[in-house]
Amino acid sequence: MKILRPLPCLSLALLALAPRAAFASDEKPHPFAGKIERIDPAFDKLIAPSAQIEKLAEGFRWSEGPVWFDGGLVFSDVLANTAYQWKPGMTEARVYFRPSGLFTANAGIREPGSNGMTRDRQGRLTLVQHGERRVVRWENSSFTVLADHFEGKRFNSPNDLVVKTNGDIYFTDPPYGLTDIEKSKLRELDFAGIFRIATDGKVTLLSKSLPYPNGVAFSPDEKLLYIGSTEDNAAHIYAYDVKPDGTLANQRLFYDAQPMVNDQNKGGCDGLKVDRDGNLWSSGAGGVMVISPAGKLLGRIHTGEQSSNCAWGDDGSVLYITSDYFLVRVKTLTKGAGL
């Protein structure tokens, strides 16, 4: 474990002056359109019939990895190598730190910024960095590296993560951050793994059966681990039993979202979150799908954009969604697991 001391990130004193996301050179402002679809009556216990999708900020190249932290929502713009924050009352998001994932130019990196974010058991911001290919903790304006190698080989590009109540960190490592992806010349591991970082720093490979593991979440009792897959033509969510020693067993298909994916509803099963009753909230197919613990689709939040991830904030009942160009939210009648 090593600590990287003051890096070329924006100082906290400059955050209030930092502009919101700049428009990408090939993008122009466009209207937001969204709707909420009720598929099962049980959905009414999760989102009120009067609920609306609210647009909070826009202008991002690929928004990702939201987490409620430091009084607001912190999230990544993976392509812009920037972490942003939005707080209640703001009309636009502000730079939280930059660069967020890559500190030295590297032509072999296609997605340089941070991706998934969460809080550890001490409430500290913990995140994955595509560009530097590692899992880190952010505190006191610097990064502590938690893991960047497995058996002497660099990770592909850690994508998303979740922290177990005992402090262990589970994360996925597909090659999306690398130029040429799985054919990248920088690739050192010949598989995309699901890993665990124990509290003593030991890194354990839990599974390498999926070519593109992505979002990751525990059931409320932590007896199940869910993994979203963004493999082409296989928009799936898988479930694993979590054994007493923290390893995984009995991989099986939990939900098949591929029939809903089309040109109007893009995206595989990316970011995952679980509410207090065990319902799974998964981005994909043009928004967020809400799926019961039994694997039944209850409803959908259509954002009109390929959506990457979601997270609860405020008092734990407001769902924030990173939806490509936009950051949006929906007020719910439930709360995130553990909140």
pLDDT recorded at residue 29: 63
Asked whether residue 263 is domain-assigned, the answer is: yes
Instruction: Determine the Cα–Cα distance for residues 299 and 270; give it in Å rounded to an integer.
Output: 17
Omega of the bond leading into 259 within 30 degrees of 0 (cis): no
The bridge status of strand 125-129 relative to strand 153-154 is: unpaired
Candidates 67, 82, 65; CA nearest to 125 is 67
Q: Which two tokens stand for residue 14?
A: 């400059």
- Residue 23 DSSP class: P
Whether residue 214 contacts residue 230, with contact meaning beta carbons closer than 8 Å, is answered with yes
Predicted pLDDT of residue 28 = 52
Q: What was the pLDDT predicted at 4?
A: 33
pLDDT at residue 338, rounded to an integer = 84
Please answer whether residues 278 and 295 qualify as being in contact, where contact means their C-beta atoms are separated by less than 8 angstroms: no
Give residue-wise pLDDT tens across range 313-329: 999 999 999 999 999 99
Residue 77 is encoded by which pair of tokens?
């713009």
What is the per-residue pLDDT for 94?
A: 97
Tens digit of each residue's pLDDT (9 = 90 or more) over 63-77? 999 999 999 999 999
What's the average model confidence in pLDDT over 246-275?
96
Which residues 6+ apart lie within 8 Å of 8 measured at CB?
Answer: 99, 103
Give the mean pLDDT of 259-272. 93
311 belongs to a structural domain? yes
Asked if residue 336 belongs to a domain, the reply is no
Q: What is the tens place of the pLDDT at every residue in 152-204?
A: 999 999 999 999 999 999 999 999 999 999 999 999 999 999 999 999 999 99
**pLDDT for the residue numbered 21:** 42
Take residue 156 and report the two structure tokens written for it.
């592909």
Is position 9 within any domain?
no
Confidence category of residue 288, pLDDT binned at 50, 70, 90: very high
- Give the residue-averaged pLDDT of 113-119: 98
- Of the ranges 28-32, 180-184, 210-214, 291-295, which one carries the lowest mean pLDDT score? 28-32
Q: What percent of the chain has pLDDT over 70?
A: 91
CB 135 within 8 A of CB 146: yes
Cα–Cα distance between 127 and 135 in angstroms, integer?
6
pTM for the structure as a whole: 0.92
Helix (H, G, I), strand (E, B) or coil at 34: coil
Is 299 within 8 Å of 38 (Cβ atoms)?
yes
15-24, 110-119, 216-225, 267-276: least confident range: 15-24
Can you give the pLDDT at residue 31?
79
pLDDT at 35 over 90: yes
- Residue 98's pLDDT band, with cuts at 50, 70 and 90, is very high
Task: Note whether residue 13 is domain-resident.
Answer: no
Question: Is residue 5 over pLDDT 90?
Answer: no
pLDDT at residue 215 tops 90: yes
| 85 within some domain | yes
Residue 51 pLDDT > 60: yes
End-to-end CA distance of the chain: 30
Grouping H, G, I as helix, E, B as strand and the rest as coil, residue 15 is helix
Phi, psi for residue 43 in degrees, rounded to 5 = -65, -30
Percent of the chain with pLDDT over 90: 87
Average the pLDDT over 139-152 and give the result.
95
Q: Is 70 helix (H, G, I), strand (E, B) or coil?
A: coil
Distance CA(114)–CA(20), nearest Å, equals: 17
**Cβ distance 102 to 172 under 8 Å?**
no
| pLDDT of the residue at 339 | 75
What is the spatial distance between Cα 193 and Cα 103, in angstroms, rounded to a whole number? Answer: 24
Residue 251 sits in which domain range? 21-331
State mean pLDDT over 47-64: 95
Reported as a pLDDT band with limits 50, 70 and 90, residue 26 is: very low
What is the total count of domains within the chain?
Answer: 1
User: Within a domain: residue 310?
Assistant: yes
| Res 180: pLDDT | 95
CA 164 – CA 182 distance, rounded (Å): 29
* Site of tokens 């003051």: 6
What is the domain-level CATH number for residue 37?
Answer: 2.120.10.30
- Does some domain include residue 7? no
Dihedrals phi, psi of 45, to nearest 5 degrees: -85, -10
